[in-house]
Structure 1
């Protein structure tokens, strides 16, 4: 059974998809559904919700079509909330922002917190461990002081070395200003950059946009998270596939086939078939079967348009290359800084474990150092707070990126194979369409063309089993007659029949299907 969205949820999706709509633009339910990727039923409920909230106007045509218009955009609700309600919302928003920051930044806080604690302990013990002659009481603390002083003067915020070489990543720049090794450090394209979403005002309305920022604009806590867990995957739009398919439907006169779905989505056939079943339900489509057994899908209602909302032709799926995510997504400078701080914590935690530096023993060292009448030392115990916890924490911070590095080759091979699968799909679809447009009988797709397409993406030719598996997944079979003559052809008879049937249906599709008729009533 189909699930219905709440009108407010559908309105929220429509508000983002229709932002920037001209004030005098009119749109049908099909226009809104195509822009937002919503089912027709959800688009209609969402439009009515927006119309009641933002003073939208409604018109009716002689064909019974509803036309919606929003002369005030989506920025003038009928009433303003009370001041105390707005204040509560601001406080709540600030509290949620602080909570999100705490959750996302706790690893960076722990990393730097332990480094500062160890630095403070080393300095305190080094200074407190002097006798009356000014000599240190332990050579180990002198070593710790040297290490802590070196780290401080190298990485403190006002250090010219840190500001030039670490924080801005210029440690890896040559004299021409080109960064060296940044791509190798991240393991892929887009190194040292991130994509963020933010809201801006356009045409007097609030619109959410995406922009790419340089790595230097990424907060330090996010660089730490990427060092540990890897870069976060960009948020996936659950309606993107539907928007692309609906745009294809409208551009193809409301008639599409499985071939169009495969081209736009790049999905395997076993996933494309269930997707089409859902589209038939959401957009009131119908299934047609020709005498040749070709299965096509017809969506006449999606063609209805007021003409003010256009759609762009979606690019084929194979134009979007699949890439393996980088190991960290950071440039070399931040990775070096995070690794150095974590190595310092690991070293200090190891020393704390070897010296049994529990909190009781630390307090005794600080109070008795330099005293003429020192108190007896406490019983030896395992250093948990300063030893076990930071030791395990630092090991994990190194183990996770190392583990991802070991798996990086497998991820890159999987990405190359997916690109190869799409290249094979491209070859099959283009060759099938070209032969269908020809007056000569279809001759199928040569195995050599598929092998070359695969090899261009992976660097090696596929074996017979791999190629046969990909062909079978797309409904192809071996042309026995061609195989007997050594030509090695594959036939995709259902796709061939589908292309010819779609050509016939689109040529016969009436332009009146997209016409909404004349306006007979307008509510201003």
Structure 2
């Protein structure tokens, strides 16, 4: 008696037995092989293997008689597995903690010590200014006494947008009558106060750690995939998805297999052996306007990788920040090397502490610059690779015929990897020139096109369920983990970079 599919369940015991069989067979088996190895019922094994296609890196082969062969990664690696994830997470948490602590320390040190050093310098000359001003008939002694406090106030205004002396519609020093006064500060408030685009303290943080970008959407890869599937009438081949992500054909098959469970997909096999991944349910819509042609995800070579600005600040702001910290560094060195007879507490407080902080303040951007330059180089290489991919994929989009690609059209760095990743061949022309052909890509593109043409007649307006898979109740944490793994399979690193670029552009505006 056949097992009722509605009552089947992939328990830990069933999965463990099947994994034991697959390990013995190095990941390649049919449902009959596994049933014979485990003693489980054929229907249960067949159903369980279909569920495990979503969980483990795998492929599904179909022969000319419709028999299924399951090919799992010999290591039986779960989709989205990330061996170093825990260690990287620890490092990220440690870095974020350091950033928060150093930001607080920065405000205490950079602002506090700058003000302290200004006051010390002014205090040393205040007596002379007062003596000189007391002999003047104009009585400017009041302005002289207020000088250090006004400079500190102006510094705080610049740092935090605080407008201490006027309303937003007035100048720094109040009404017209006060601005027209003579004396030392008579002309300082003539220009109205204008709030800068970014507070100076935020520019300091960006100088240290780079501009902070909004968090990337973990569902962006899945959303991009679903929209692309809809734009292709729910019919996608590995070549289609590889042309959008830059993945190899094997990686694209893994990504599409991982998407079957999420989007209730199925697989058709053409006479040429091409796997066409079918997502009928994605085509069902309640809005007839949604039946219009959709804008597909652009090919990967049309989406260039860029590296966000190192600080996000203009050169003038970075120069001011460098001078500000340089001032503290200079004063700390002066306390340690020039001033004599200070108590130990003053030497530590006014010398060593600001010296250590100022050195770290300059060291952090210098160390970060190395990583920034490395990312810039990686982006340059990736853009070169994407440009070369355009030649490869466009050579295969000609009615199932792969046009030869001259060897010189593909940079030597990528030639071997392209041949392996896209199942290419090397041929020698009559002129003794090497050319590359990518017949597998051409077949995939053509079979996908034909499948989409046939799908036009049956998909729209019909509710089609391509599988009997029941959705599992997952708690929020488990669902987030599932989304993370699926995003990795779909080329999440590609979309994460592009999200960061878009977010940075939005921040820049």
3-state SS, counterpart of residue 277 of structure 2: strand
Aligned residue among 233, 248, 261 for 1:253: 233
**Correspondence 1:217-366 to 2 at 5 A:** 217-269=197-249, 271-307=251-287, 310=290, 312-354=295-337, 361=342
Aligned residue among 477, 480, 487 for 2:424: 477
Hey, what does 1:502 align to over in structure 2?
A: 448
Hey, what does 1:430 align to over in structure 2?
A: 394
Paired with 1:507 and 1:133, the residues of 2 have a C-alpha distance of: 93
Paired with 1:348 and 1:218, the residues of 2 have a C-alpha distance of: 28
Paired with 1:114 and 1:273, the residues of 2 have a C-alpha distance of: 59
Paired with 1:103 and 1:400, the residues of 2 have a C-alpha distance of: 10
1:467 is displaced (CA, Å) by 2.7
Is 1:121 the counterpart of 2:123? The answer is: no
3-state SS, counterpart of residue 436 of structure 2: strand
Paired with 1:113 and 1:477, the residues of 2 have a C-alpha distance of: 64
| Cα pair 1:478 1:490 within 8 Å, conserved | yes
Aligned residue among 411, 419, 438 for 2:383: 419
Paired with 1:132 and 1:334, the residues of 2 have a C-alpha distance of: 37
Change (3 A) 1:410 1:112: same
3-state SS, counterpart of residue 433 of structure 1: coil
Change (3 A) 1:402 1:323: same
Hey, what does 1:489 align to over in structure 2?
A: 435
Paired with 1:286 and 1:152, the residues of 2 have a C-alpha distance of: 71
| Cα pair 2:332 2:355 within 8 Å, conserved | yes
| Cα pair 2:204 2:321 within 8 Å, conserved | yes
Change (3 A) 1:313 1:131: closer
Paired with 1:116 and 1:268, the residues of 2 have a C-alpha distance of: 58
1:279 is displaced (CA, Å) by 0.8
3-state SS, counterpart of residue 408 of structure 2: helix
1:235 is displaced (CA, Å) by 3.1
3-state SS, counterpart of residue 511 of structure 1: coil
| Cα pair 2:236 2:276 within 8 Å, conserved | yes
1:513 is displaced (CA, Å) by 2.2
| Cα pair 2:385 2:414 within 8 Å, conserved | no
Change (3 A) 1:401 1:104: closer
Change (3 A) 1:130 1:326: closer
1:444 is displaced (CA, Å) by 3.1
Hey, what does 2:458 align to over in structure 1?
A: 512
Aligned residue among 408, 422, 436 for 1:448: 408
1:325 is displaced (CA, Å) by 2.9
Structure 1: state its 5+ residue gaps. Answer: 3-99, 135-147, 160-214, 362-377, 451-461, 518-524
| Cα pair 1:322 1:418 within 8 Å, conserved | yes
**Which structure carries more strand by proportion?**
1
| Cα pair 1:322 1:415 within 8 Å, conserved | yes
1:102 is displaced (CA, Å) by 9.6
Paired with 1:347 and 1:340, the residues of 2 have a C-alpha distance of: 10
Change (3 A) 1:381 1:116: closer
**Paired residues, number:** 316
| Cα pair 1:356 1:382 within 8 Å, conserved | no
3-state SS, counterpart of residue 514 of structure 1: coil
Paired with 1:477 and 1:505, the residues of 2 have a C-alpha distance of: 23
1:494 is displaced (CA, Å) by 1.9
Root mean square deviation of aligned Cα? 3.9
Paired with 2:309 and 2:420, the residues of 1 have a C-alpha distance of: 30
Paired with 2:245 and 2:280, the residues of 1 have a C-alpha distance of: 22
1:257 is displaced (CA, Å) by 1.0
Paired with 2:202 and 2:444, the residues of 1 have a C-alpha distance of: 50
Is 1:111 the counterpart of 2:105? The answer is: no
Change (3 A) 1:102 1:396: closer
Hey, what does 1:399 align to over in structure 2?
A: 363
1:271 is displaced (CA, Å) by 4.4
Paired with 2:262 and 2:454, the residues of 1 have a C-alpha distance of: 25
| Cα pair 1:447 1:488 within 8 Å, conserved | yes
1:404 is displaced (CA, Å) by 3.8
TM-score scaled by length of structure 1: 0.52
3-state SS, counterpart of residue 480 of structure 1: strand
| Cα pair 2:267 2:278 within 8 Å, conserved | yes
1:397 is displaced (CA, Å) by 1.5
Hey, what does 1:92 align to over in structure 2?
A: none
